[in-house]
């Protein structure tokens, strides 16, 4: 493992696995919030929504063969660790499938990356924030993400 996690390399390597396997996906979570809001958003991992019917051993094997380590399986998600140390989470939820279909391509370093639309990301974040089982700190982050996506983004020149 490298000294520091490499979010960019993990993002691009993940997209390469999806593309090689023909798996529909969309970037979600904090990285997508930052892209849509136009300001960086701190996040501990890189999150993707993946077509719900594509969860399985074949996809997981493709990630393993590409240097990702399986770290955990949960009812609606699977956690991997990129060889750089960056955590990557794949979310499998039927309600995300139409959002994946509506996702838009964002070009970065010569690679087309599917990103969930802003309106869909707001809906995902509202749903997550309203989940009574969600840890309070995550629910508050989701609420803040909704506001940031609606335009309440920080201005580096504003005062206290």
CATH number at residue 87: 3.30.460.40
pLDDT bin (cut points 50, 70, 90) of residue 39 is confident
Give per-residue pLDDT as tens, 14-24: 999 999 999 99
Q: Is 134 within the bounds of a domain?
A: no
For residue 155, being part of any structural domain is answered with no
The pLDDT value recorded for residue 4 is 60
Count of Cβ atoms closer than 10 Å to residue 94 Cβ: 10
Number of other CB atoms surrounding residue 103 within 10 Å:
23
Domain count, the chain: 1
pLDDT digits (tens, 9 = 90+) for 63-120: 999 999 999 999 999 999 999 999 999 999 999 999 999 999 999 989 999 999 999 9
- Asked if residue 111 is part of any domain, the answer here is yes
Q: Which domain holds residue 25?
A: 7-116
Instruction: Please tell me the predicted confidence (pLDDT) of residue 154.
Output: 77
């Amino acid at each position: 493992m490298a000294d520091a996690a490499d979010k960019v390399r993990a993002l691009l390597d993940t997209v390469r696995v999806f593309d090689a396997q023909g798996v529909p996906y969309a970037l979600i979570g904090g990285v997508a919030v930052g892209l849509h809001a136009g300001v960086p958003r701190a996040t501990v991992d890189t999150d993707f929504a993946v077509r719900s019917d594509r969860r399985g051993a074949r996809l997981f094997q493709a990630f393993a063969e590409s240097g990702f380590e399986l770290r955990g399986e949960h009812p609606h998600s699977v956690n991997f660790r990129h060889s750089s140390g960056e955590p990557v989470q794949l979310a499998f939820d039927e309600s995300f499938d139409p959002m994946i279909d509506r996702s838009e391509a964002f070009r970065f370093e010569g690679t087309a990356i599917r990103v969930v639309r802003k309106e869909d990301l707001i809906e995902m974040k509202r749903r997550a924030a309203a989940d009574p089982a969600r840890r309070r700190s995550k629910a508050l982050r989701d609420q803040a993400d909704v506001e940031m996506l609606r335009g309440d983004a920080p201005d580096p020149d504003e005062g206290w």
